[in-house]
A and B are shown apart, each in its own frame.
Chain A
């Protein structure tokens, strides 16, 4: 018996050993530690997105495509998101050097211990709408009372709840419906008012055929609550960096260069909307061309024109409003996004200011004061 056990163990040990020799941990070389002045050597940088390749991230893909990153000595690898990929967690665990994440969700992760800092606020405005058919007469949050209200949950719903609270509508005054990926529930009447991103889901309903007319739905068929107008908008896509590593001068330098090249990419997408659409399609998006053009155009509206200090600047007022909503708005479960004020390290304008100085010195328009959005015509199915 003893012999049997020993050989059993030996076999188990052998299997284990085999596994161990096959896998080895790669030395963690923080990308920031490479000397930035080294001739020709590019600093590798991994950027984690929130979702798969689409116009929402056009600026970063444009910066890769147009060589803005390589011009600043960076070799940027863009990591796509998935259903269960949480960018701020990926960043905090060191599997990416920077991450794109919504401010409230990232702050919630920060409160739970993720060491991340907002270093550039790309989207200055919120892209979240609450869309309903015009005949449902939902023009303001107060009109939501008694309606079937769709929301995505998972921390994407707080602008809605803050807006309702502000209008005196309690979560119990409405029927809350968990929304899917698509907008069919709105179109077939299961939801009266559905959550939609201006650059994605709203376009999807405008790409669907209205059975009554045989034509595509028109914007006049819908009424839209825009949380920017209501005053409960929260900051969305921002570039987050690893707080701990920001103490490293090399990573600081990489951060400045990364922000500068990213903003340059966004400026390019502002001035070359069609080119950016093609870049995103080349990067592997399967969304249709008109949908993608709509997306880049709408995202531009969230960025440009930017604060006088330049794109990417974190404005105190918008930040404070986001934190206030995050602390105050209760969702259907009575939970708030944050339970206490975020600490001072939660955001910094230090690197974006340096990056903007770099860009201004090179004559890049980082404010876009004269920006005018395009009129995009959507085709059936977004094609």
Chain B
């Protein structure tokens, strides 16, 4: 993936296809590994001295991949007024969660970038805020989730009542802003002293220095930060959905399907599969952004 600016066209074209292809290959490998484990490890798993070292591989614990895939085409609720397949439900849930994660990523991204700019501008603010930014990530998500969920009915944004999905988005943003704030701050501070002094010598103001020097220089730092943030936003959204029981997303589907895992274990795996695909899509989206910003790659030294 790490193609440099020079000689890009050819290498770029190859890398553009290599990414998804490798991902698919890895997925296929995972499927093969799963089935191999099922074949090789005894149904009851392996326990040494009362400690389980290998999991159970019975069909109840690890259903066959084709059972899970086949389950996608079964109706979600038999006899429902508007029947839909489990696959459709999982896809709808994943899309819902993807939208919330994306919203959270944008919200967290804007907040993180603003915070980084302010911290870069003022050392005092940085010293004041940074410890709390770090502390914010040590607060367990399950402690925040009910709190944020409780905003429903209490807070209105621009006159709109607080919807349950907004809580999920805020929690996703809460996790996403951190890597962006920290990464962006490093990026903004990354230009060499000589460059900064050159701008100063040319009598450029703070704003010009920011837009012409610091922001372009921060792109190589921002992209990995965004990658982390995208993953964090997806995890945040799923955990927030599970925690607050917000309807519509993949997190809620996981707990709903987990309830029927005793009699129908493959059903839960369809939701987990949906969550995995969701994570891949989010990572892929950041990859696309990476391609769009490729010209800034070599902008910094």
Interface residues of chain A, those whose CB is within 8 Å of chain B, are 4-5, 7-9, 11-12, 15, 22-26, 28, 46, 51-52, 79-86, 89-90, 93, 95, 181-184, 187-188, 200-201, 204-205, 207-209, 281-282, 284-289, 291, 380-383
* B247 touching A381, Cβ below 8 Å: no
* A80 touching B156, Cβ below 8 Å: no
Contacts of B155 in A (CB 8 A): 23-26
* A86 touching B245, Cβ below 8 Å: no
* A26 touching B125, Cβ below 8 Å: no
Q: Can you name 13 A-B residue pairings with CB atoms under 8 Å?
A: A9-B125, A22-B157, A25-B155, A82-B243, A84-B145, A181-B258, A182-B261, A188-B58, A200-B259, A201-B262, A207-B260, A381-B260, A382-B263
One of A7, A52, A380 near B256 (C-beta < 8 A):
A52
B32 to chain A, nearest CB (A): 25
Contacts of B206 in A (CB 8 A): 7
Contacts of B13 in A (CB 8 A): none
Contacts of A23 in B (CB 8 A): 155-157
A209 to B244, alpha carbons, bound, how many Å? Answer: 32
One of A12, A183, A281 near B262 (C-beta < 8 A):
A183
Contacts of A12 in B (CB 8 A): 118, 122, 125
Contacts of B125 in A (CB 8 A): 8-9, 12
Cβ of B89 under 8 Å from chain A: yes
A81 to B149, alpha carbons, bound, how many Å? Answer: 11
Cβ of B161 under 8 Å from chain A: yes
Interface size of B by CB at 8 A reads: 55
* B242 touching A82, Cβ below 8 Å: yes
* A207 touching B157, Cβ below 8 Å: no
Cβ of B49 under 8 Å from chain A: no
* B263 touching A207, Cβ below 8 Å: yes
Q: Given known contacts A82-B241, A187-B60, A381-B260, what 7 new A-B pairs fall within 8 Å (CB)?
A: A4-B123, A23-B156, A52-B252, A82-B244, A286-B89, A289-B79, A381-B267
Cβ of B31 under 8 Å from chain A: no
Cβ of B124 under 8 Å from chain A: yes
One of A26, A83, A204 near B154 (C-beta < 8 A):
A26
Q: Are A15 and B258 CB-contacts (below 8 A) given A84-B142, A207-B263?
A: no
A191 to chain B, nearest CB (A): 12
Cβ of B265 under 8 Å from chain A: yes
Cβ of B78 under 8 Å from chain A: yes
Q: Which of A5, A28, A82 has the most CB of B within 10 A?
A: A82
A139 to B152, alpha carbons, bound, how many Å? Answer: 47
One of A7, A95, A204, A282 near B121 (C-beta < 8 A):
A7
Contacts of A285 in B (CB 8 A): 77
Contacts of A51 in B (CB 8 A): 245
A83 to B206, alpha carbons, bound, how many Å? Answer: 48
Q: Which 9 A-B pairs have the closest CB atoms?
A: A8-B122, A82-B245, A381-B264, A207-B263, A204-B262, A182-B261, A84-B243, A381-B263, A208-B263
Q: Are A84 and B244 CB-contacts (below 8 A) given A8-B125, A12-B125, A52-B256?
A: yes
B212 to chain A, nearest CB (A): 19
* A83 touching B245, Cβ below 8 Å: yes
A11 to chain B, nearest CB (A): 5
Cβ of B97 under 8 Å from chain A: no
Q: Which residues of B71-128 are within 8 A (CB) of A? A: 76-81, 89, 114, 117-118, 121-125
* B261 touching A11, Cβ below 8 Å: no
Cβ of B131 under 8 Å from chain A: no
Cβ of B277 under 8 Å from chain A: no
* B118 touching A8, Cβ below 8 Å: yes
Question: B122-166 CB contact bits vs A (8 Å, 1 = yes)?
Answer: 111100000000000000001001100110111111100100000
* B260 touching A291, Cβ below 8 Å: yes
Contacts of A182 in B (CB 8 A): 258-262
A288 to B263, alpha carbons, bound, how many Å? Answer: 11
Question: B21-48 CB contact bits vs A (8 Å, 1 = yes)?
Answer: 0000000000000000000000010000
A133 to chain B, nearest CB (A): 14
Q: Are A81 and B245 CB-contacts (below 8 A) given A4-B122, A26-B153, A188-B60?
A: yes
* B260 touching A287, Cβ below 8 Å: yes
Chain A residue at minimum C-beta to C-beta distance from B111: A15
A222 to chain B, nearest CB (A): 13
Cβ of B255 under 8 Å from chain A: yes
Chain A residue at minimum C-beta to C-beta distance from B89: A286
Contacts of A84 in B (CB 8 A): 142, 145-146, 243-244
A52 to B253, alpha carbons, bound, how many Å? Answer: 11
Chain B residue at minimum C-beta to C-beta distance from A378: B263
A93 to B155, alpha carbons, bound, how many Å? Answer: 14
A273 to chain B, nearest CB (A): 15
